[in-house]
Chains A and B, each alone.
Chain A
Amino acid sequence: MGLVHGEEMVLNIGPQHPATHGVLRLQVRTDGEVVSQITPYMGYLHRCFEKHCENVTYEQVIPYTDRCDYLSSMSMNFGYVVAMERLMDIKVNERVEHIRVVMAELQRIASHLLCTGVFGLDLGAFTPFLWALRDRERILDLFEFTCGARLLYNYMWVGGLSHDIPVGFVESTFEFLDYFEPKIDELENILAHNKILVERSADIGVMPKDIAISYGVTGPNLRASGVKWDLRKNDSYSIYDRFEFDIPIGEGKKGTVGDCWDRFYVRILEMRESVKIIRQALASMPKDGDVHQSLPKKIRPPKGSVYARTETPRGDLGYYIESDGSPIPYRLKMRSPAFTALSVMDEIAAGWLLSDVLAILGSLDIVLGEIDR
Chain B
Amino acid sequence: MSQEKEKLIAELVNKGLDGDMDSVNACEDRVTRSKVKAMIMKIKKGSLDRPQMPVSLSDTPNESDDTGKTDDKTTEDISQKIKNMLLDNFPDETDETGQDGHMYVRPDKWLDIATWLKSESSLLFDSLQCQMGIDVGEDILESRYNLHSMVHDHYLEVRIRVARSNAKIPSVEQVWRIADWFERETYDMLGIEYVGHRDLRRILLPDDWEGWPLRKDYKEQETYHGIVVPKMKEGWD
Contacts and interface: CB of A to CB of B under 8 A. Distances in A.
Interface residues of A, number: 32
B232 A55 contact: yes
B5 interface: no
A316 to B, nearest CB: 7
A51 B129 contact: no
A214 B144 CA distance: 18
A213 B130 contact: no
B204 A51 contact: no
B204 A335 contact: no
Interface in A296-320: 307, 309, 316, 318, 320
Contacts of A51: 213-214
A322 interface: yes
Contacts of B205: 43, 46
Given A43-B205, A55-B236, A343-B178, A213 B129 contact: no
B213 A320 contact: no
B82 to A, nearest CB: 16
A298 to B, nearest CB: 13
For A316, A322, A331, which residue has the most chain B Cβ atoms within 10 angstroms?
A: A331
Contacts of A333: 130, 132
Contacts of B214: 50-51, 54, 331
Contacts of A215: 177-178
B110 interface: no
B208 interface: no
Contacts of A335: 129-130, 132
Contacts of A339: 181
A75 B236 CA distance: 28
For B129, B157, B180, B202, which residue has the most chain A Cβ atoms within 10 angstroms?
A: B129
Nearest to B134: A331
For B126, B128, B181, which residue has the most chain A Cβ atoms within 10 angstroms?
A: B181
B200 to A, nearest CB: 14
Interface in B102-129: 126-129
Nearest to A56: B236
A42 B184 CA distance: 12
Given A48-B213, A213-B150, A316 B189 contact: no
A216 B126 CA distance: 9
Given A48-B213, A343-B181, A372-B204, A307 B146 contact: yes
Nearest to B206: A43
B181 A307 contact: no
B157 A307 contact: yes
Given A216-B176, A373-B204, A227 B150 contact: yes
Contacts of A343: 177-178, 180-181
A46 B203 CA distance: 10
Contacts of B150: 213, 227, 229
A340 interface: yes
For A216, A307, A343, which residue has the most chain B Cβ atoms within 10 angstroms?
A: A216
A340 B181 contact: yes
Interface string A210-223: 01011110000000
B181 A309 contact: no
Contacts of A189: none
Contacts of B213: 48, 51
Contacts of B204: 42-43, 46, 372-373
A320 B146 contact: yes
A216 B134 contact: no
Contacts of A330: 134
Contacts of B180: 343
Nearest to B175: A214
Contacts of A340: 178, 181
Contacts of A213: 126-127, 150
A316 B150 CA distance: 13
Given A46-B205, A339-B181, A343-B180, A318 B129 contact: yes
B63 interface: no
A135 B152 CA distance: 40
A234 B135 CA distance: 33
B146 A216 contact: no
Nearest to B135: A331
A214 B130 contact: no
Contacts of B203: 42-43
19 contacts: A42-B204, A43-B202, A43-B203, A46-B204, A50-B189, A51-B213, A211-B177, A213-B127, A213-B150, A214-B127, A216-B128, A216-B178, A318-B129, A318-B130, A322-B134, A331-B214, A333-B130, A335-B129, A343-B181
Interface of B: 126-130, 132, 134-135, 144, 146, 150, 153, 157, 176-178, 180-181, 189, 202-206, 213-214, 232, 236
What are the 8 closest A-B residue pairs judged by CB atoms, nearest first?
A: A216-B178, A333-B132, A43-B204, A335-B130, A214-B177, A343-B181, A46-B204, A331-B134
